[in-house]
């Protein structure tokens, strides 16, 4: 089997698992259910992943790695604070869209490595938000002076929006809900932007 074909098969399995987790609850993802959904034998699945937990760990690791790459790109951007905040909003929204619904709602059922990975990625998001907000405070661009409170509030709001969307309490998807809550909170958190 070629490396490319192996990568495509792993990717197909992870996409199938994400779809099951996005449509149902965590318990819906079983090796049997995944094999049926992909029209693949269980033995073929086991060639790529040793267990359901390995599938979930890989799924979360890939989602978090994508988020962290996007964060690194924002870190290298030294431009306007409002542009950086908008870029971070996009990163948060993308992260919300990458995490399947059942995982958002039932993260305590995840294997320990998944919970740890999600926590580390969330901490990275918070650190990046705080760095951007610190730049805004230092430059005098933002009137709100407590970057720790602001970054904590933004992350908590993003988490709440993502969960409300996953529970079906909002008409918009998880990423759109995160964007909306951050746009809602920005004026109150930062005050009026000072003229440049």
- Domain CATH for 130: 1.10.357.10
Residue 179, in any domain of the structure:
yes
Quick check: is 18 in a domain? no
Q: Does residue 17 sit within a domain?
A: no
Q: Is residue 24 part of a domain?
A: no
Per the domain annotation, does 93 fall within a domain? yes
What share of the chain has pLDDT > 70, as a percent?
Answer: 89
Higher pLDDT, 50 or 196: 50
Residue 86 lies in a domain: yes
Q: Burial level of 180, CB count in 10 A (0-12/13-18/19+)?
A: middle
**Assigned domain for 6 exists:** no
Give the pLDDT band of residue 187 (cuts 50, 70, 90): confident
Ramachandran region of residue 49, left (φ > 0), alpha (ψ -120 to 50) or beta?
beta
| Cα separation, 180 vs 59, whole angstroms | 26
Tokens linked to 82: 């409002």
Q: Tell which residue, 20, 5, 9, 8, has the closest CA to residue 45.
A: 9
> Which tens digits make up the pLDDT trace of 120-175?
999 999 999 898 888 888 887 777 778 888 889 889 999 999 999 999 999 999 99
Question: pTM, whole model, 2 decimals?
Answer: 0.87
Number of folded domains that form the chain: 1
Structural domain range at position 140: 52-190
Span 82-94, pLDDT tens digits? 888 889 999 999 9
Q: Evaluate whether residue 181 is within a structural domain.
A: yes
């Amino acid at each position: 089997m070629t490396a490319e074909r192996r990568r495509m098969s792993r990717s197909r399995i992870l996409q199938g698992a994400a779809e099951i987790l996005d449509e149902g609850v965590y318990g819906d993802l079983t090796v049997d259910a995944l094999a049926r959904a992909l029209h693949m034998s269980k033995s073929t699945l086991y060639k790529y992943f040793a267990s359901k937990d390995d599938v979930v760990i890989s799924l979360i690791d890939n989602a978090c790695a994508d988020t962290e790459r996007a964060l690194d790109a924002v870190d290298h951007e030294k431009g306007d604070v409002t542009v950086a905040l908008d870029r971070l909003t996009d990163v948060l929204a993308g992260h919300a869209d990458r995490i399947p619904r059942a995982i958002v709602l039932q993260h305590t059922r995840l294997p320990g490595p998944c919970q740890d990975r999600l926590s580390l990625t969330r901490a990275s998001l918070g650190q990046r938000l705080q760095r951007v907000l610190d730049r805004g405070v230092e430059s005098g661009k933002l009137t709100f002076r407590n970057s720790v409170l602001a970054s904590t509030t933004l992350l908590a709001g993003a988490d709440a929006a993502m969960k409300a969307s996953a529970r079906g309490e909002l008409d918009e998807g998880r990423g759109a809900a995160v964007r909306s809550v951050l746009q809602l909170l920005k004026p109150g958190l930062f005050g009026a932007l000072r003229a440049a």
